[in-house]
């Protein structure tokens, strides 16, 4: 499938399906749209009338064009009110159009421009088209979903934006890489195979890679007892993955992205009961998957920023070797943790990964994790939680997210709540009271950062979609690869 920007006039475009954007409350056809309607024997005006089309965001309408016209079908897509237009408006419209056009070979899209730049619009639309059309049928012997027939997509009126389209294709490829890691079952993506994927990325894109084996982790600082404690019941060895991208010239800054990479979470001896979502716990490495997806994109975009990608991959299983409720683990910085819930394992793996990341002497550390159900209760399935010790870092990430169309909400780092994590026999417990559970999880992680500006992203809700939504289809979403790429490039 080829996506290209074209200077072909709306009236001169020929092909199977021509999609035009309509603003809410502006259904009176003017200018080129009026001329096109006349050329197509009033097909557009009749479609607006027949469907009572108002241009509301996300709405679509399609009609065949009669006679021997150069356009076989016409589609309308609503963009919402002009004053509400933002990049996500073009992104959502392009995704909706792409899904309408899967049986066509050629598609032309003409959406009205707004205050956003042509470059940003072209990139947003291209990302949306690719992601909306992505299907993951790897594990079906006979896929029920037919592959789209689309061969050519013309972005009308966006000529000269070839580089934006190319960048969007790279970013979308990183998102799809993350999606497919999360979608794959836990017998396919294990700590070992996740490390192999990272090694393949390093080889293909010239990244540096270091894989710390269990013995290496035991020797690091005071020993990665928290991370290794989580994986000690598994028959599959842990793999601590460290990928590094370095620009050719002098890096303007140096950052670390740390992704929770629990490839399957049974809950440990605090076993998740049936119906609690245990069957979907292959997604508990969603943070790590997004970290590797971001690495793939960054390696190809080549920004002048040094980026370290860290995934402490392991499984949380049950056996005679499993960590027990009441056990005390010692993290790499020497802090001791009383395990009062073996199902709060992600923060244990991240604790040692954060200590490791800070030893790299980076300018900022961002961790992302499917960490708490409490965050889903607070913010729902479409919004991720954000905590930070640095206002500048938080502002950068929120700006990057807005451009990407991925939603975050900053929550407070309420220090008083750490009282609930205090232990009588260790430095802290790994869980606190039920109220404010996502906040206490962030406060737990904060204990493993000394001075580096740090941010925690709880992405438990948005990494998975139960139904198609925007650019996402059912299943893994690849959240928040696009935001992280934007942040690194900011």
Residues identified as active-site:
272, 347
CA angle 14, 18, 20 (to 5 degrees): 135
Query: Three-state SS for 31?
Result: helix
Dist. CA 1–CA 137, nearest whole Å: 18
Dist. CA 47–CA 38, nearest whole Å: 13
Q: Which letter does DSSP use for residue 148 in this model?
A: P
| Ramachandran angles phi, psi of 426, nearest 5° | -140, 180
* Residue 221 Rama label (left phi>0; alpha psi -120 to 50; beta): left
Pairing of strands 60-64, 71-78: antiparallel
Dist. CA 259–CA 346, nearest whole Å: 10
Instruction: Provide the 10 A C-beta neighbour count for residue 266.
Output: 23
Is the bond leading into 480 cis (omega within 30 degrees of zero)? yes
- Give the count of alpha carbons within 13 A of 75, CB side only: 25
Q: Which residues pair with 455 in a beta bridge?
A: 366, 388
User: Three-class SS string for 440-462?
Assistant: HHHHHHHCCCCCCCEEEEECCCC
271 contacts: CB under 8 Å, gap ≥ 6: 278, 318, 343
Cβ atoms 192, 236 nearer than 8 A: yes
291 contacts: CB under 8 Å, gap ≥ 6: 257, 258, 259, 261, 309, 310, 311, 368, 484
Question: Sign of the CA dihedral 5, 10, 15, 19?
Answer: positive
Instruction: Provide the 10 A C-beta neighbour count for residue 113.
Output: 13
Dist. CA 304–CA 396, nearest whole Å: 17
| Ramachandran angles phi, psi of 241, nearest 5° | -100, 130
Dist. CA 229–CA 208, nearest whole Å: 27
The two three-digit tokens of residue 259, written as one number: 């992704």
Dist. CA 81–CA 90, nearest whole Å: 12
Of residues 294, 321, 107, the one with CA closest to residue 201: 294
Q: For the chain, first and last CA: distance in Å?
A: 30
């Amino acid at each position: 499938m080829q996506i290209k920007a074209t200077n072909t006039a709306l009236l001169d475009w020929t092909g199977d399906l021509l999609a035009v954007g309509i603003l809410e409350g502006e259904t009176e056809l003017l200018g080129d749209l009026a001329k096109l309607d006349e050329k197509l024997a009033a097909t557009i005006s009749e479609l607006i009338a027949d469907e009572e089309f108002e241009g509301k965001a996300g709405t679509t309408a399609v009609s065949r064009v009669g006679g021997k016209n150069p356009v076989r079908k016409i589609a309308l897509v609503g963009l919402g009110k002009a004053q509400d237009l933002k990049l996500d408006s073009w992104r959502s419209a392009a995704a909706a159009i792409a899904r309408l056009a899967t049986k066509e070979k050629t598609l032309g899209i003409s959406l009205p421009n707004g205050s956003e730049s042509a470059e940003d619009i072209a990139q947003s639309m291209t990302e949306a088209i690719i992601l909306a059309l992505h299907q993951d049928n790897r594990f079906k012997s006979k896929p029920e979903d037919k592959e789209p027939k689309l061969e050519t997509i013309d972005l009308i009126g966006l000529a000269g934006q070839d580089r934006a389209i190319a960048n969007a294709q790279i970013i979308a490829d990183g998102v799809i890489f993350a999606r497919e890691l999360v979608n794959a079952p836990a017998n396919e993506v294990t700590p070992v195979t996740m490390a192999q994927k990272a090694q393949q990325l390093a080889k293909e894109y010239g990244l540096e890679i270091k894989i710390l084996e269990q013995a290496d982790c035991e020797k690091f600082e005071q020993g990665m007892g928290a991370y290794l404690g989580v994986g000690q019941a598994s028959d599959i060895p842990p793999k601590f993955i460290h990928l590094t991208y370095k620009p050719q010239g002098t890096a303007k800054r140096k950052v670390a992205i740390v992704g929770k990479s629990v490839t399957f979470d049974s809950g440990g001896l605090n076993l998740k009961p049936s119906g609690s979502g245990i069957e979907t716990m292959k997604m508990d490495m969603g943070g790590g998957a997004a970290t590797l997806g971001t690495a793939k994109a960054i390696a190809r975009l080549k920004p002048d920023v040094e980026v370290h990608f860290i995934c402490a991959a392991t499984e949380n299983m049950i056996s005679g070797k499993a960590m027990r409720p009441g056990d005390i683990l010692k993290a790499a910085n020497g802090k001791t943790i009383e395990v009062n819930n073996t199902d709060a394992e992600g923060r244990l793996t991240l604790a040692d990964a954060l200590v490791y990341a800070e030893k790299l002497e980076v300018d900022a550390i961002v961790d992302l994790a499917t960490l708490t159900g409490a965050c889903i209760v607070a913010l729902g399935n479409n919004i991720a939680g954000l905590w930070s010790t640095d206002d500048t870092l938080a502002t950068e990430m929120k700006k990057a997210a807005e451009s990407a169309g991925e939603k975050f909400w900053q929550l407070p780092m309420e220090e008083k709540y750490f009282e609930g994590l205090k232990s009588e026999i260790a430095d802290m417990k790994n869980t606190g009271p039920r109220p404010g559970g996502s906040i206490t999880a962030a406060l737990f992680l904060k204990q493993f950062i000394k001075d580096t500006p740090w941010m925690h992203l709880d992405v438990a809700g948005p990494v998975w979609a139960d139904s198609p939504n925007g650019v996402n289809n059912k299943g893994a979403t690849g959240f928040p690869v696009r935001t992280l790429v934007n942040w690194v490039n900011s």
